[in-house]
Protein backbone atom coordinates (compact mmCIF):
# COMPACT_ATOMS: atom_id res chain seq x y z
CA UNK A 1 0.00 0.00 0.00
CA UNK A 2 1.16 3.47 -0.83
CA UNK A 3 1.62 6.06 1.90
CA UNK A 4 -0.26 9.29 1.67
CA UNK A 5 2.85 11.47 1.73
CA UNK A 6 4.47 13.55 -0.97
CA UNK A 7 6.42 11.40 -3.35
CA UNK A 8 8.88 11.75 -6.15
CA UNK A 9 8.86 9.77 -9.32
CA UNK A 10 12.34 9.55 -10.75
CA UNK A 11 12.49 8.21 -14.26
CA UNK A 12 15.82 6.42 -14.66
CA UNK A 13 15.15 5.71 -18.29
CA UNK A 14 14.91 9.44 -18.89
CA UNK A 15 18.35 9.92 -17.30
CA UNK A 16 19.69 7.33 -19.72
CA UNK A 17 17.92 9.07 -22.60
CA UNK A 18 19.49 12.40 -21.66
CA UNK A 19 22.92 10.80 -21.37
CA UNK A 20 22.50 9.33 -24.84
CA UNK A 21 21.30 12.64 -26.33
CA UNK A 22 24.46 14.31 -25.03
CA UNK A 23 26.61 11.45 -26.23
CA UNK A 24 25.17 11.72 -29.72
CA UNK A 25 25.59 15.47 -29.73
CA UNK A 26 29.22 15.29 -28.59
CA UNK A 27 30.08 12.39 -30.78
CA UNK A 28 33.82 12.06 -30.15
CA UNK A 29 34.09 13.36 -26.58
CA UNK A 30 33.80 11.19 -23.51
CA UNK A 31 30.63 12.02 -21.58
CA UNK A 32 31.25 12.02 -17.83
CA UNK A 33 28.53 12.19 -15.20
CA UNK A 34 28.39 15.02 -12.69
CA UNK A 35 26.77 13.45 -9.64
CA UNK A 36 27.63 15.89 -6.86
CA UNK A 37 25.12 16.62 -4.10
CA UNK A 38 23.82 13.07 -4.36
CA UNK A 39 23.15 13.40 -8.09
CA UNK A 40 21.53 16.80 -7.66
CA UNK A 41 19.23 15.45 -4.98
CA UNK A 42 17.98 12.46 -6.96
CA UNK A 43 20.67 9.99 -6.01
CA UNK A 44 19.18 7.76 -3.30
CA UNK A 45 21.62 4.86 -2.86
CA UNK A 46 23.39 5.67 -6.07
CA UNK A 47 20.54 4.73 -8.37
CA UNK A 48 21.61 7.52 -10.72
CA UNK A 49 25.27 6.49 -10.75
CA UNK A 50 24.13 2.99 -11.57
CA UNK A 51 21.98 3.97 -14.54
CA UNK A 52 24.70 6.27 -15.88
CA UNK A 53 27.22 3.46 -15.58
CA UNK A 54 24.85 1.17 -17.45
CA UNK A 55 24.53 3.84 -20.12
CA UNK A 56 28.27 3.71 -20.65
CA UNK A 57 29.54 6.40 -18.31
CA UNK A 58 32.89 5.51 -16.77
CA UNK A 59 33.97 8.75 -15.19
CA UNK A 60 32.13 10.74 -12.55
CA UNK A 61 32.51 14.09 -10.83
CA UNK A 62 31.49 14.79 -7.25
CA UNK A 63 32.16 17.96 -5.26
CA UNK A 64 33.06 16.60 -1.89
CA UNK A 65 35.35 13.80 -0.78
CA UNK A 66 32.62 12.20 1.36
CA UNK A 67 30.42 11.90 -1.70
CA UNK A 68 33.27 10.15 -3.42
CA UNK A 69 33.68 7.66 -0.57
CA UNK A 70 29.96 6.95 -0.54
CA UNK A 71 29.92 6.14 -4.24
CA UNK A 72 33.16 4.16 -4.09
CA UNK A 73 31.67 1.87 -1.46
CA UNK A 74 29.17 0.71 -4.06
CA UNK A 75 31.14 0.88 -7.28
CA UNK A 76 34.63 -0.50 -7.54
CA UNK A 77 35.60 0.17 -11.13
CA UNK A 78 34.38 3.67 -12.02
CA UNK A 79 36.63 6.73 -11.98
CA UNK A 80 35.60 9.28 -9.36
CA UNK A 81 36.96 12.83 -9.52
CA UNK A 82 36.52 15.16 -6.56
CA UNK A 83 36.05 18.77 -7.70
CA UNK A 84 36.72 20.48 -4.39
CA UNK A 85 40.33 19.39 -4.57
CA UNK A 86 43.03 17.98 -2.37
CA UNK A 87 42.61 19.70 0.97
CA UNK A 88 44.41 19.41 4.26
CA UNK A 89 45.18 15.86 5.46
CA UNK A 90 43.28 14.22 2.63
CA UNK A 91 46.04 12.49 0.65
CA UNK A 92 45.65 9.13 2.36
CA UNK A 93 41.87 9.16 2.08
CA UNK A 94 42.09 9.84 -1.66
CA UNK A 95 44.42 6.86 -1.97
CA UNK A 96 42.45 4.57 0.29
CA UNK A 97 39.24 5.03 -1.68
CA UNK A 98 40.89 5.31 -5.07
CA UNK A 99 39.50 8.80 -5.69
CA UNK A 100 41.06 11.38 -7.99
CA UNK A 101 41.42 14.86 -6.54
CA UNK A 102 40.87 17.67 -9.01
CA UNK A 103 44.00 19.72 -8.41
CA UNK A 104 43.01 23.35 -7.91
CA UNK A 105 46.18 25.10 -6.72
CA UNK A 106 49.94 24.94 -7.16
CA UNK A 107 50.44 23.73 -3.59
CA UNK A 108 47.91 20.93 -4.13
CA UNK A 109 49.76 20.00 -7.30
CA UNK A 110 53.14 19.83 -5.56
CA UNK A 111 51.69 17.89 -2.65
CA UNK A 112 49.98 15.32 -4.89
CA UNK A 113 52.91 14.85 -7.26
CA UNK A 114 55.03 14.03 -4.25
CA UNK A 115 52.50 11.80 -2.50
CA UNK A 116 50.93 9.90 -5.38
CA UNK A 117 53.21 7.10 -6.46
CA UNK A 118 50.76 5.39 -8.82
CA UNK A 119 50.96 8.08 -11.53
CA UNK A 120 47.76 6.87 -13.12
CA UNK A 121 45.50 9.89 -13.44
CA UNK A 122 46.05 13.57 -12.89
CA UNK A 123 43.32 16.18 -13.24
CA UNK A 124 44.26 19.85 -13.03
CA UNK A 125 41.66 22.62 -12.96
CA UNK A 126 42.57 26.04 -14.38
CA UNK A 127 40.58 29.14 -13.64
CA UNK A 128 39.58 30.93 -16.83
CA UNK A 129 37.19 33.40 -15.26
CA UNK A 130 35.11 31.97 -12.43
CA UNK A 131 37.49 32.97 -9.67
CA UNK A 132 36.25 30.04 -7.68
CA UNK A 133 38.41 26.98 -8.05
CA UNK A 134 41.42 26.28 -10.24
CA UNK A 135 44.95 27.46 -10.83
CA UNK A 136 45.01 31.10 -11.88
CA UNK A 137 46.52 32.38 -15.09
CA UNK A 138 49.46 34.05 -13.36
CA UNK A 139 50.59 30.74 -11.89
CA UNK A 140 50.63 28.69 -15.06
CA UNK A 141 54.41 28.94 -15.37
CA UNK A 142 54.76 27.08 -12.11
CA UNK A 143 52.77 24.25 -13.68
CA UNK A 144 55.00 24.29 -16.75
CA UNK A 145 58.04 24.00 -14.49
CA UNK A 146 56.59 20.75 -13.12
CA UNK A 147 55.98 19.33 -16.57
CA UNK A 148 58.46 16.51 -16.26
CA UNK A 149 56.74 15.20 -13.16
CA UNK A 150 53.30 15.71 -14.73
CA UNK A 151 54.34 13.70 -17.75
CA UNK A 152 54.97 10.65 -15.56
CA UNK A 153 51.19 10.19 -15.46
CA UNK A 154 49.44 7.77 -17.80
CA UNK A 155 46.58 10.21 -18.23
CA UNK A 156 46.50 13.98 -17.64
CA UNK A 157 43.31 16.02 -17.93
CA UNK A 158 43.33 19.80 -17.92
CA UNK A 159 39.94 21.32 -17.23
CA UNK A 160 38.19 24.61 -16.70
CA UNK A 161 34.63 25.74 -16.07
CA UNK A 162 32.42 28.30 -17.83
CA UNK A 163 30.67 31.06 -15.91
CA UNK A 164 27.92 31.96 -18.39
CA UNK A 165 27.31 28.90 -20.53
CA UNK A 166 23.60 29.03 -19.71
CA UNK A 167 23.38 31.97 -22.07
CA UNK A 168 24.43 31.04 -25.60
CA UNK A 169 24.83 34.69 -26.57
CA UNK A 170 27.09 35.69 -23.71
CA UNK A 171 30.43 36.86 -25.08
CA UNK A 172 32.22 35.65 -21.97
CA UNK A 173 31.89 32.04 -23.20
CA UNK A 174 34.27 32.70 -26.07
CA UNK A 175 36.61 34.77 -23.89
CA UNK A 176 36.94 31.83 -21.51
CA UNK A 177 37.36 29.35 -24.36
CA UNK A 178 40.19 31.41 -25.81
CA UNK A 179 41.87 31.58 -22.41
CA UNK A 180 41.54 27.80 -22.22
CA UNK A 181 43.08 27.51 -25.70
CA UNK A 182 46.05 29.54 -24.46
CA UNK A 183 46.54 27.11 -21.57
CA UNK A 184 46.26 24.21 -24.02
CA UNK A 185 48.95 25.76 -26.17
CA UNK A 186 51.30 26.15 -23.23
CA UNK A 187 50.55 22.64 -21.98
CA UNK A 188 49.92 20.55 -25.11
CA UNK A 189 49.45 16.83 -25.56
CA UNK A 190 47.01 16.09 -22.74
CA UNK A 191 43.24 15.63 -22.52
CA UNK A 192 41.07 18.70 -22.11
CA UNK A 193 37.63 19.42 -20.65
CA UNK A 194 35.69 22.68 -20.57
CA UNK A 195 31.96 22.08 -20.92
CA UNK A 196 29.23 21.29 -18.43
CA UNK A 197 25.60 21.07 -19.66
CA UNK A 198 25.44 24.60 -21.02
CA UNK A 199 28.84 24.45 -22.67
CA UNK A 200 27.98 21.24 -24.51
CA UNK A 201 25.22 22.99 -26.44
CA UNK A 202 27.43 25.95 -27.31
CA UNK A 203 28.82 23.67 -30.01
CA UNK A 204 31.66 21.45 -31.06
CA UNK A 205 34.56 23.71 -30.27
CA UNK A 206 33.58 23.62 -26.60
CA UNK A 207 33.61 19.82 -26.40
CA UNK A 208 37.30 18.91 -26.29
CA UNK A 209 38.03 15.39 -24.98
CA UNK A 210 35.59 15.17 -22.08
CA UNK A 211 32.33 16.89 -21.16
CA UNK A 212 30.86 17.03 -17.66
CA UNK A 213 27.06 17.39 -17.80
CA UNK A 214 24.99 17.57 -14.65
CA UNK A 215 21.66 19.36 -14.80
CA UNK A 216 20.74 18.20 -18.30
CA UNK A 217 21.05 14.57 -17.21
CA UNK A 218 18.38 15.31 -14.61
CA UNK A 219 16.01 17.04 -17.00
CA UNK A 220 16.71 20.64 -15.94
CA UNK A 221 17.46 23.53 -18.30
CA UNK A 222 15.58 21.94 -21.15
CA UNK A 223 16.04 25.19 -23.04
CA UNK A 224 19.63 24.09 -23.79
CA UNK A 225 18.28 21.41 -26.10
CA UNK A 226 14.72 20.38 -26.91
CA UNK A 227 15.57 16.69 -26.76
CA UNK A 228 16.47 16.81 -23.07
CA UNK A 229 13.60 15.11 -21.35
CA UNK A 230 12.02 15.49 -17.97
CA UNK A 231 13.18 13.12 -15.19
CA UNK A 232 11.60 13.99 -11.87
CA UNK A 233 8.00 14.58 -10.80
CA UNK A 234 6.75 15.60 -7.39
CA UNK A 235 3.22 15.09 -6.20
CA UNK A 236 1.45 15.53 -2.90
CA UNK A 237 -1.76 14.18 -1.41
CA UNK A 238 -4.41 16.48 -0.03
CA UNK A 239 -4.73 15.74 3.68
CA UNK A 240 -7.57 18.11 4.58
CA UNK A 241 -10.23 20.20 2.84
CA UNK A 242 -11.61 23.30 4.57
CA UNK A 243 -14.30 25.86 3.90
CA UNK A 244 -13.36 29.48 4.32
CA UNK A 245 -16.00 32.19 4.67
CA UNK A 246 -15.64 35.53 2.94
CA UNK A 247 -13.44 37.80 5.06
CA UNK A 248 -11.68 34.98 6.91
CA UNK A 249 -7.93 34.54 6.70
CA UNK A 250 -5.43 31.80 5.97
CA UNK A 251 -2.15 30.78 7.61
CA UNK A 252 0.51 32.51 9.70
CA UNK A 253 0.37 36.28 9.89
CA UNK A 254 -2.96 36.17 7.99
CA UNK A 255 -1.43 37.14 4.67
CA UNK A 256 -4.44 35.92 2.66
CA UNK A 257 -8.00 37.16 3.17
CA UNK A 258 -10.90 35.47 1.35
CA UNK A 259 -12.73 37.85 -1.01
CA UNK A 260 -15.52 35.29 -1.30
CA UNK A 261 -16.47 31.95 0.17
CA UNK A 262 -13.54 29.71 -0.66
CA UNK A 263 -12.69 26.01 -0.51
CA UNK A 264 -9.13 25.23 0.50
CA UNK A 265 -6.99 22.13 0.61
CA UNK A 266 -3.96 21.48 2.77
CA UNK A 267 -0.94 19.62 1.43
CA UNK A 268 1.84 18.25 3.65
CA UNK A 269 4.89 20.05 2.32
CA UNK A 270 6.55 23.29 3.29
CA UNK A 271 9.74 25.23 3.54
CA UNK A 272 11.36 22.40 5.51
CA UNK A 273 11.08 20.43 2.28
CA UNK A 274 12.77 23.05 0.17
CA UNK A 275 9.52 24.59 -1.04
CA UNK A 276 10.48 28.24 -0.83
CA UNK A 277 8.61 30.54 1.52
CA UNK A 278 8.65 33.01 -1.36
CA UNK A 279 5.94 30.87 -2.98
CA UNK A 280 3.56 32.22 -0.32
CA UNK A 281 0.50 33.66 -2.11
CA UNK A 282 2.37 33.25 -5.36
CA UNK A 283 3.01 29.62 -6.26
CA UNK A 284 0.57 27.10 -7.61
CA UNK A 285 0.14 23.38 -8.04
CA UNK A 286 -1.83 21.46 -10.69
CA UNK A 287 -4.70 19.00 -10.60
CA UNK A 288 -5.56 17.37 -13.92
CA UNK A 289 -4.05 20.29 -15.77
CA UNK A 290 -5.85 22.96 -13.73
CA UNK A 291 -3.85 25.55 -11.83
CA UNK A 292 -4.55 25.79 -8.09
CA UNK A 293 -2.95 28.79 -6.35
CA UNK A 294 -1.11 28.61 -3.04
CA UNK A 295 -2.73 30.97 -0.54
CA UNK A 296 -1.35 32.32 2.72
CA UNK A 297 2.15 31.77 3.91
CA UNK A 298 4.05 28.57 3.22
CA UNK A 299 4.57 26.91 6.63
CA UNK A 300 7.33 24.54 7.68
CA UNK A 301 5.40 21.40 6.79
CA UNK A 302 2.18 22.57 5.16
CA UNK A 303 0.82 24.62 2.28
CA UNK A 304 -2.75 25.71 1.71
CA UNK A 305 -4.19 25.87 -1.79
CA UNK A 306 -7.37 27.35 -3.20
CA UNK A 307 -9.48 24.60 -4.79
CA UNK A 308 -12.72 26.57 -5.12
CA UNK A 309 -12.93 26.06 -8.87
CA UNK A 310 -12.65 22.29 -8.50
CA UNK A 311 -14.50 21.93 -5.22
CA UNK A 312 -16.72 19.07 -6.41
CA UNK A 313 -14.04 17.25 -8.35
CA UNK A 314 -11.30 16.97 -5.75
CA UNK A 315 -11.31 15.08 -2.46
CA UNK A 316 -9.03 14.29 0.45
CA UNK A 317 -6.42 11.73 -0.61
CA UNK A 318 -6.26 13.01 -4.19
CA UNK A 319 -2.80 13.98 -5.41
CA UNK A 320 -1.86 17.36 -6.79
CA UNK A 321 1.22 17.82 -8.91
CA UNK A 322 3.99 20.21 -7.93
CA UNK A 323 6.05 19.55 -11.05
CA UNK A 324 5.91 16.97 -13.81
CA UNK A 325 6.46 16.69 -17.54
CA UNK A 326 3.84 19.34 -18.29
CA UNK A 327 4.97 21.80 -15.63
CA UNK A 328 8.68 21.10 -15.42
CA UNK A 329 11.29 21.82 -12.76
CA UNK A 330 12.33 24.74 -15.01
CA UNK A 331 8.77 26.11 -14.88
CA UNK A 332 8.56 25.58 -11.14
CA UNK A 333 11.93 27.30 -10.63
CA UNK A 334 10.64 30.31 -12.56
CA UNK A 335 7.84 30.77 -10.05
CA UNK A 336 10.33 32.11 -7.50
CA UNK A 337 13.03 33.16 -9.93
CA UNK A 338 15.30 30.41 -8.77
CA UNK A 339 17.04 27.79 -10.89
CA UNK A 340 16.13 24.13 -11.48
CA UNK A 341 19.36 23.07 -9.74
CA UNK A 342 18.07 24.59 -6.55
CA UNK A 343 14.66 22.92 -6.92
CA UNK A 344 15.96 19.37 -7.10
CA UNK A 345 19.00 19.62 -4.83
CA UNK A 346 16.68 20.74 -2.02
CA UNK A 347 14.14 17.98 -2.38
CA UNK A 348 13.24 16.74 1.05
CA UNK A 349 14.74 13.58 2.45
CA UNK A 350 11.38 12.72 4.00
CA UNK A 351 9.58 12.32 0.67
CA UNK A 352 9.12 8.87 -0.77
CA UNK A 353 11.21 8.22 -3.85
CA UNK A 354 9.94 5.92 -6.55
CA UNK A 355 12.55 4.99 -9.10
CA UNK A 356 11.05 3.92 -12.39
CA UNK A 357 12.70 2.30 -15.34
Ligand X SMILES: *Cc1c(COP(=O)(O)O)cnc(C)c1O
Q: Which residues are catalytic?
A: 36, 252
Helix (H, G, I), strand (E, B) or coil at 132: coil
- Applying CB under 6 A, does 213 fall inside the site for ligand X? yes
**57 is a contact residue toward ligand X (CB under 6 A):** no
Answer for which of 38, 108, 197, 299 binds ligand X (CB under 6 A) is 197
How far apart are CB 257 and ligand X at their closest, in Å? 42
Phi/psi at 204 (nearest 5 deg)? Answer: -50, -45
Q: Are 17 and 56 in contact (CB under 8 A)?
A: no
Rule CB under 6 A: say whether 214 interacts with ligand X.
yes
Reported in sequence order, the residue ranges of the chain that DSSP labels E, i.e. its strands, are 7-11, 30-31, 33-34, 59-62, 79-82, 100-103, 121-125, 155-159, 191-193, 210-211, 232-237, 240-244, 249-250, 256-257, 262-267, 284-287, 290-295, 303-306, 319-323, 352-356
Number of residues that bind ligand X (CB under 6 A): 12
The C-alpha atoms of residue 107 and residue 71 are separated, in whole angstroms, by 27
Q: Does 212 bind ligand X (CB under 6 A)?
A: yes
Nearer to ligand X, 17 or 36 (CB): 36
Closest approach, Cβ 117 to ligand X, in A, equals 27
Among 7-15, 136-144, 208-216, 329-337, the segment contacting ligand X (CB under 6 A): 208-216
Reduced to 3 states (helix: H, G, I; strand: E, B; else coil), residue 266 is strand
Which parts of 127-186 interact with ligand X (CB under 6 A)? 161
User: Quick one: which of 62, 83, 99, 158 contacts ligand X (CB under 6 A)?
Assistant: 83
How do beta strands 155-159 and 191-193 pair? Answer: parallel
Indicate whether 65 belongs to the interface with ligand X (CB under 6 A): no
Q: Which stretch binds ligand X (CB under 6 A): 74-82, 194-202, 241-249, 316-324?
A: 194-202
Q: Which stretch, 91-99, 150-158, 195-203, 249-257, contacts ligand X (CB under 6 A)?
A: 195-203
Residues 6+ apart with CB under 8 A from 268: 5, 6, 236, 237, 239, 301, 302
Enumerate binding residues for ligand X (CB under 6 A).
34, 36, 83, 161, 196-198, 212-216
Amino acid sequence: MKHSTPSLDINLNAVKHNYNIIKKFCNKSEVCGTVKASSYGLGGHNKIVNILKKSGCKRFFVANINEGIFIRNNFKSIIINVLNGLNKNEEKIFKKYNLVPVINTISQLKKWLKFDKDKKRLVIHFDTGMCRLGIQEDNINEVIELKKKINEYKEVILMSHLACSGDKKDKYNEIQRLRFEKIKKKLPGYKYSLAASGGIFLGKKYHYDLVRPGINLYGGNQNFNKKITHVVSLKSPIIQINKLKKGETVGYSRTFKAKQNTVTATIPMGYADGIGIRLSNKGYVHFKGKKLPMIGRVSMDLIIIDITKLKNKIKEGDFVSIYDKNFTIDNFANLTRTIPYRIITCISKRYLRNYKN
